[in-house]
A and B are shown apart, each in its own frame.
Chain A
Amino acid sequence: MRWTIGKKLATLVGVMLLTLGTISFITYSNIDRMISNTGQVTHTFTMINGNSHLITQLFAAEAAQRGYLMSGNPDYLQAYRDHQSQTRRYLTNLHASVRSNDTRALLSALEGKLNSRFDSLDLGVSMYDKGQITEYQKLIQQGVGLRLMNEVQENQQQIEQLEQQLATQRQQELLESNHIALNFILWATLLTLLGIGAGSFYLVRSISSPLHDLTAVAERISQGDLSLPPPQIGQRSDEIAILAQAFTRMSGYLHSMSEVAKALANNQLQADITPLSERDELGHAFVAMTSNLRNLVTEVQEAARQISGSSSQIAALTSQLAASSTETAAAVSETSTTLEEIKVTAQQVNQKSAFVSDSARSTAQMTQHGQKSVGDTLQGMHKIRQQMDFIAESIVRLSEQSMAIGEIITSVSDLAGQSNLLAVNASIEAAKAGEHGKGFAVVAQEVRSLAEQSKESTEQIRRILNDIQKAISGAVMATEQGGKTVEIGVQQSAETETAIQTIGQGATGTVQAAAQILASTNEQVAGLNQVAIAMDNIRGASDQIVISMRQAEEATASLNQMSNRMWDLVERFRIR
């Protein structure tokens, strides 16, 4: 069987317990006896005390009875009764607590004597009550009471002595037993101390030195120094040996873990760690750590790549933004200067619109004059038209007449033509007739010439008529033209009137509009002032934007640098 430390300890502790038990038992029994002895002693003293109290009470009762007998004061009687009852009580108590037989016997004797004494006392009282004092005095003189008292006292002293003896005896016994116990305890304690001292010394040696070594190793390990070899324990089979083996395994395990940690510290994340068991916390933790680190590094690499890309994009964007914000600033300053020009122009417009307002007003007055003259013109036009109408009527009549003439001329011309024809025919017939027809030929010739003359005249007349017609047409046309012109004139006058009215209205409208324009240009000037102020603000803000853009550009450049550094840092890790 393996003599384990537990068993060793158990043996030692058992021995200790045994001795302790023995000592305790003895001490306990001694003390118990001591207590009982002390109790007895106390009891004895209580007896003695009670005894003396008894006697005291008896004497007090006696005194009270005497006092009563002497004075007759009921107080004395009352006191006598009290003392009497007290005495009896004490006696009862003593009876209850008496232990020794001898004492009992004495106590019974005492009791008897006490009773007879009290009887006599009572007799005295009753005799006094009856007024038989002198008899009592005689009784007293017999000395019974005195004798009783003496007996009682003797009894009491005997009891006291007896009890005293008992007490002394008991105390003696107690002392003796105490001495024995003390000796025994002393020797036993000494022996126990020695034995236990030796045993513990040996045990401690066997435990503490290897423990010390192991502690030193553990201390070193706790400081992180895994380089110590496992402690040499020697040939043992107890828990220390097991502990040493466990320590060895532990330090081996820690060593391997430290190797793994060193590999991880060298950025070699591809190491595969197998935990030793399901409860290998460190192994599991390392496995989890390496896989987490692998994932983390992979993700960080990925993120670093993305950040690098994004930061370059951001850098490009910020430089674009910076450029465009510079352009914006330039545009804003251009706008600002343009605005100044617009302001000046607006003021000019303001002045001009005031001027326009005045001219519109004078125009409105002018239109009224114009309207009046147009009215006069219209009246004249109407008169002209009437005259024209008259002329037209005359011309029409003239035209009709000349047309009639023309018709007549036509018929005359026809007549002339037919006459001519007739004359030619006549000439032909005359020619056919030969000699006889010569005179007829002459006549025919004459007729022909007549016809010709008529024709010529008609031709002339026709020409004249044509001229007349032309003249008439011309006149008609002229009158028509005149009429049209008059119409046109009337229309134009009407138009002029309406135009003048419109102008008048327009002028009124213009006056109003000019007033509105004046008001609005005033507002415009005010608004332009505000816009100019706003433009200045915008310019300030855009300048700030430019500055901020530059700063952002710098920030993104540094971000870019940082991401590059991060990439460099992360690239070092070997994952696979």
Chain B
Amino acid sequence: MSHIPDNTTEILQARARKLAQPRAHSEEQTRHLDITCFTVAQECYGFESRFIREIIPVSQITPLPGVPAFVAGIMNLRGRILCLMEPRHLLGLSAPAPKERSLVIVLAGADQEFGLLIDTLTGVCRLPLHSLQEHLPTLSDQGRRYLHGIGPEQLILLDAQAMLLDPRLRIEDEID
């Protein structure tokens, strides 16, 4: 393809150089967190990757009547029913939800799993634990519940475990 721009080679080379650098941080014994970053309402959030089962593109969301506002609906994930949550209501964000939801982060705990509708997926990264900060003035009270910490570049690390253990978000698969 003759139309590929000329700087492609340079990009690949730069990347190669970066990768060739020794990972000084990764050999230390400081704790690192594997964070999966995403954006909701143009704000960067992240979960620890150990709580994330997978990230899947969203198929059909079936809305349910008589459920709390933060429940967006249910979807079919390879044959089993996944409950989808709307992070705006959980985090107390006021921005309106986009019409087309593309990705769902499936959070899985011991006995609880649900999906969280996100806007975009930024990527995976490792953060040293000491780089986390505690306080974010902009986050609402509701969001503070789930706040784990503030990472660099204004990444809001959410506590997936807190979410999973929250009795409010508990989903009973079976009803007696």
Residue B152 at the chain A interface, CB threshold 8 Å: no
Of the residues B3, B50, B56, B57, contact of A464 by C-beta under 8 Å: B3
How many whole Å from B167's CB to the nearest CB in chain A?
Answer: 26
Task: Flag the segment in B8-16, B66-74, B128-136, B137-145 that touches A.
Answer: B8-16
User: Hey, which chain B residues are within 8 Å of A317, CB to CB?
Assistant: none
A interface secondary structure, majority: helix
User: Hey, which chain B residues are within 8 Å of A418, CB to CB?
Assistant: 57
B124, A424: Cβ atoms closer than 8 Å: yes
- What CA separation (Å) do A76 and B35 show in the bound complex? 234
Residue A432 at the chain B interface, CB threshold 8 Å: yes
Q: With CB as the reference atom, state the residue of chain A lying closest to B102.
A: A417
- What CA separation (Å) do A431 and B11 show in the bound complex? 27
Of the residues A428, A453, A464, contact of B124 by C-beta under 8 Å: A428
The contact sample of 11 A-B pairs, CB cut-off 8 A, is A418-B57, A421-B121, A424-B55, A427-B36, A431-B49, A448-B123, A448-B124, A457-B8, A460-B3, A461-B3, A464-B3
Residue A22 at the chain B interface, CB threshold 8 Å: no
B124, A431: Cβ atoms closer than 8 Å: yes
Per the 8 Å Cβ criterion, residues 435-462 of A in contact with B are: 448-449, 453, 456-457, 460-461
User: Hey, which chain A residues are within 8 Å of B54, CB to CB?
Assistant: 425, 428
- What CA separation (Å) do A456 and B3 show in the bound complex? 13
Given contacts A428-B124, A460-B5, contact A449 B49 (CB under 8 A): no
User: Hey, which chain B residues are within 8 Å of A431, CB to CB?
Assistant: 34, 49-50, 124
Q: With CB as the reference atom, state the residue of chain A lying closest to B32.
A: A431
B1, A428: Cβ atoms closer than 8 Å: no
Given contacts A431-B50, A448-B123, contact A425 B55 (CB under 8 A): yes
User: Hey, which chain B residues are within 8 Å of A448, CB to CB?
Assistant: 123-124
- What CA separation (Å) do A448 and B15 show in the bound complex? 12
User: Hey, which chain B residues are within 8 Å of A424, CB to CB?
Assistant: 36, 55, 121, 123-124
How many A residues are at the interface, by size bracket?
10 to 19
Q: With CB as the reference atom, state the residue of chain A lying closest to B54.
A: A425
How many whole Å from A416's CB to the nearest CB in chain B?
Answer: 13
B55, A421: Cβ atoms closer than 8 Å: yes
Per the 8 Å Cβ criterion, residues 390-437 of A in contact with B are: 418, 420-421, 424-425, 427-428, 431-432
- What CA separation (Å) do A432 and B55 show in the bound complex? 14
Per the 8 Å Cβ criterion, residues 446-484 of A in contact with B are: 448-449, 453, 456-457, 460-461, 464
B3, A428: Cβ atoms closer than 8 Å: no
A460, B4: Cβ atoms closer than 8 Å: yes
Binding site for B on A (CB under 8 A): 418, 420-421, 424-425, 427-428, 431-432, 448-449, 453, 456-457, 460-461, 464
Of the residues B1, B12, B53, B55, contact of A461 by C-beta under 8 Å: B1
| Extra pairs beyond A424-B124, A431-B49 (18, CB < 8 Å) | A420-B121, A421-B103, A424-B55, A425-B55, A427-B34, A427-B36, A427-B124, A428-B34, A431-B34, A431-B50, A448-B123, A448-B124, A456-B8, A456-B11, A457-B8, A460-B3, A460-B8, A464-B3
User: Hey, which chain B residues are within 8 Å of A427, CB to CB?
Assistant: 34, 36, 49, 124
Contact pattern, B 87-106, Cβ under 8 Å of A = 1, otherwise 0: 00000000000000001000
- What CA separation (Å) do A431 and B57 show in the bound complex? 20
- What CA separation (Å) do A425 and B50 show in the bound complex? 11
A-B Cβ contacts below 8 A, count? 49
A457, B4: Cβ atoms closer than 8 Å: yes
Binding site for A on B (CB under 8 A): 1, 3-5, 8, 11-12, 15, 34, 36, 49-50, 52-57, 103, 121, 123-124
A428, B4: Cβ atoms closer than 8 Å: no
Q: With CB as the reference atom, state the residue of chain A lying closest to B8.
A: A457
Pairs of residues from A and B, 4 with the lowest C-beta to C-beta distance, nearest first: A431-B34, A431-B49, A427-B124, A464-B3
B8, A428: Cβ atoms closer than 8 Å: no
- What CA separation (Å) do A17 and B11 show in the bound complex? 202
- What CA separation (Å) do A427 and B36 show in the bound complex? 9
Q: With CB as the reference atom, state the residue of chain A lying closest to B18.
A: A449
How many whole Å from B135's CB to the nearest CB in chain A?
Answer: 27
Q: With CB as the reference atom, state the residue of chain B lying closest to A444.
A: B124
How many whole Å from B50's CB to the nearest CB in chain A?
Answer: 5
User: Hey, which chain B residues are within 8 Å of A432, CB to CB?
Assistant: 49-50
B57, A428: Cβ atoms closer than 8 Å: no
User: Hey, which chain B residues are within 8 Å of A464, CB to CB?
Assistant: 3
Q: With CB as the reference atom, state the residue of chain B lying closest to A465.
A: B3
User: Hey, which chain B residues are within 8 Å of A456, CB to CB?
Assistant: 8, 11
How many whole Å from B100's CB to the nearest CB in chain A?
Answer: 14
Q: With CB as the reference atom, state the residue of chain A lying closest to B124.
A: A427
- What CA separation (Å) do A431 and B31 show in the bound complex? 13
- What CA separation (Å) do A420 and B124 show in the bound complex? 11
- What CA separation (Å) do A427 and B49 show in the bound complex? 8
How many whole Å from B122's CB to the nearest CB in chain A?
Answer: 9
User: Hey, which chain B residues are within 8 Å of A461, CB to CB?
Assistant: 1, 3-4
A428, B5: Cβ atoms closer than 8 Å: no
A428, B11: Cβ atoms closer than 8 Å: no
Q: With CB as the reference atom, state the residue of chain A lying closest to B125.
A: A427
User: Hey, which chain A residues are within 8 Å of B34, CB to CB?
Assistant: 427-428, 431
- What CA separation (Å) do A432 and B48 show in the bound complex? 10
How many whole Å from A200's CB to the nearest CB in chain B?
Answer: 174
Q: With CB as the reference atom, state the residue of chain B lying closest to A460.
A: B5
- What CA separation (Å) do A449 and B124 show in the bound complex? 12
User: Hey, which chain B residues are within 8 Å of A460, CB to CB?
Assistant: 3-5, 8
Q: With CB as the reference atom, state the residue of chain B lying closest to A421.
A: B55
Given contacts A421-B121, A460-B4, A464-B3, contact A428 B15 (CB under 8 A): no
How many whole Å from A462's CB to the nearest CB in chain B?
Answer: 11
A421, B50: Cβ atoms closer than 8 Å: no
User: Hey, which chain A residues are within 8 Å of B57, CB to CB?
Assistant: 418, 421
User: Hey, which chain B residues are within 8 Å of A421, CB to CB?
Assistant: 55-57, 103, 121
- What CA separation (Å) do A421 and B3 show in the bound complex? 27
User: Hey, which chain A residues are within 8 Å of B103, CB to CB?
Assistant: 421
User: Hey, which chain A residues are within 8 Å of B12, CB to CB?
Assistant: 453
User: Hey, which chain B residues are within 8 Å of A449, CB to CB?
Assistant: 15
Q: With CB as the reference atom, state the residue of chain A lying closest to B48.
A: A431
- What CA separation (Å) do A126 and B54 show in the bound complex? 237
Q: With CB as the reference atom, state the residue of chain B lying closest to A446.
A: B19
How many whole Å from B39's CB to the nearest CB in chain A?
Answer: 14
- What CA separation (Å) do A457 and B3 show in the bound complex? 10
- What CA separation (Å) do A431 and B53 show in the bound complex? 11
How many whole Å from A225's CB to the nearest CB in chain B?
Answer: 148
